[in-house]
């Protein structure tokens, strides 16, 4: 089932992280290049460790910042399907309560991407989510207009070094 939900950055579109069919549908609906990986949202460090090979440096940053708009890229574990991420997976623990509620309901980490067409503007109201995406969602959590916050900072940690892939609200 596809779900539209609010996050700290914009309305997101997601599904269970291991559901290959729903992940494929997200790529199709968004018109997103399948070589561009999607991120995964978790609501605990323990959940993160089940889906990624977490380095001590990554763990230290997560403990310091999460829940926060900080996406950390680490090598993935086999539970994450290749359609979602080939070798590495970006993971974030959102400070917004809605993704955690969805994760708890599904008892699963969730895929997350902005609920827009690829390259389109981030939606801050459900009505701004393209109709084709809204109509394909099995559940929509509408919290009205969201504040326009910067995107999450995305980092990769490899061999103890931090590489900033996208600068967002958290400065490292």
For residue range 55-81, list pLDDT tens digits in order.
999 999 999 999 999 999 999 999 999
The answer to whether residues 57 and 157 touch, using CB atoms and an 8 Å cutoff, is: yes
Strand 161-166 to 110-114 pairing = unpaired
Helix (H/G/I), strand (E/B), else coil: 23 = helix
Mean pLDDT, rounded, for 101-128: 97
Determine, yes or no, domain membership for 141. Answer: yes
The pTM for the full model equals: 0.95
Determine, yes or no, domain membership for 172. Answer: no
| Containing structural domain, residue 61 | 3-166
Determine, yes or no, domain membership for 128. Answer: yes
Query: Which of 110, 113, 111 has its CA nearest to residue 101?
Result: 110
Instruction: State the total domains in the chain.
Output: 1
Token digits of residue 82? 């290749």
The answer to whether residues 69 and 151 touch, using CB atoms and an 8 Å cutoff, is: yes
At residue 172, the pLDDT reads: 86
Question: Alpha-carbon distance 102 to 41, whole Å?
Answer: 10
Determine, yes or no, domain membership for 68. Answer: yes
Residue 70 belongs to domain with CATH number: 3.90.870.10
At residue 114, the pLDDT reads: 96
Determine, yes or no, domain membership for 104. Answer: yes
Token digits of residue 66? 């999460």
Determine, yes or no, domain membership for 171. Answer: no
Determine, yes or no, domain membership for 101. Answer: yes
**pLDDT bracket for residue 86 (50, 70, 90):** confident
Determine, yes or no, domain membership for 100. Answer: yes
């Amino acid at each position: 089932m596809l779900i539209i939900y609010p996050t700290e950055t914009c309305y997101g579109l997601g599904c269970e992280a291991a559901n290959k069919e729903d992940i494929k549908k997200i790529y199709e609906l968004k018109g997103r290049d399948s070589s561009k990986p999607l991120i995964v949202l978790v609501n605990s460090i323990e959940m993160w460790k089940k889906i990624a090979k977490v380095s001590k440096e990554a763990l230290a940053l997560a403990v310091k910042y999460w829940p926060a708009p900080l996406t950390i890229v680490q090598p993935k574990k086999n539970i994450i399907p290749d359609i979602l991420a080939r070798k590495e997976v970006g993971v974030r623990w959102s400070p917004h309560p809605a993704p955690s509620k969805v994760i708890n309901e599904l008892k699963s980490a969730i895929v997350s991407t902005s609920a827009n067409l690829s390259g389109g503007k981030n939606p801050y109201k459900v009505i701004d989510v393209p109709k084709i995406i809204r109509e394909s969602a099995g559940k929509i959590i509408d919290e009205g207009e969201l504040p326009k916050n910067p995107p999450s900072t995305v980092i990769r940690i490899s061999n103890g070094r931090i590489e900033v892939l996208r600068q967002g609200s958290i400065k490292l």
